[in-house]
Amino acid sequence: MTELGTESARLEIIGDDDVVRVRQLARSYAQQVKLSLVDQTKLVTATSELARNTLTYGGGGAAEIGIVRDDHRTGVRASFQDSGPGIPDLDLAMTDGWTSGNGLGLGLSGARRLVDDFELDTEVGRGTTVTVVKWSR
């Protein structure tokens, strides 16, 4: 996936307030690359879901959010990383409505629908990294 440049920031995710910070940071980059209001809302909602997963299931971690460019597009990339338990059954975790806790089971599957690129790396016992990109059109 396209790498982040200098226009990026890293946030630790260790509490509820960090999820709010992630939303705010994602919003500000989304505005910088002039995503439409609907696309801003989709991206920010996706980052909110992923940051909360990092906190709830990953036991905390970090987010890296910033601007990405390729030959003809600009976008916002957000990556969420934790060293938690990992996801044993990815297909199940990506299923709408499946939760191992008491959520709605919509965070992962919903976030994937809300963004353009979605990448999930997980290993049981090592942790999980989810990276998403929303491109401006």
Partner 1 sequence: MDRVPILRIGDVLLVSIQVDLQDQGVLDLQEDLAEQLSSISARGVVIDISAVEIVDSFIGRMFATIASVSQLFDADTVVVGMRPAVAITLVELGLTLGNVRTALNLEKGLEILRGTRGRTGLEWAQPPPEVTR
Interface with ligand ATP, residue 90, by CB under 6 A: no
Q: Which stretch binds ligand ATP (CB under 6 A): 3-11, 29-37, 50-58, 66-74?
A: 50-58
Closest CA to 120 of 110, 130, 112: 130
Interface with ligand ATP, residue 85, by CB under 6 A: yes
For the chain, report the end-to-end CA distance as a whole number of angstroms: 18
Interface with Mg ion, residue 53, by CB under 5 A: yes
**Closest distance to ligand ATP from the beta carbon of 6 (Å):** 27
Beta strands in the chain (DSSP E): 8-13, 61-69, 74-82, 117-123, 127-135
| Residue corresponding to tokens 């999820």 | 19
Interface with partner 1, residue 113, by CB under 8 A: yes
- Give, as ranges, the residues between 34 and 93 that touch partner 1 (CB under 8 A): 36-38, 40-42, 44-45, 48-49, 52
Q: Residues 9, 67: contact at Cβ < 8 Å?
A: no
Q: Which residues are CB-neighbours of 135 under 8 A, at least 6 positions away?
A: 73, 74, 75, 116, 117
Q: Residues 50, 34: contact at Cβ < 8 Å?
A: no
Bridge partners of residue 67, in order along the sequence: 76
Interface with Mg ion, residue 107, by CB under 5 A: yes
Interface with partner 1, residue 16, by CB under 8 A: yes
Q: Under the rule (CB under 5 A), what is the footprint of Mg ion?
A: 53, 103, 107
Q: Under the rule (CB under 8 A), what is the footprint of partner 1?
A: 16-17, 19-20, 23-24, 27, 36-38, 40-42, 44-45, 48-49, 52, 96, 103-104, 106-107, 109-111, 113-114
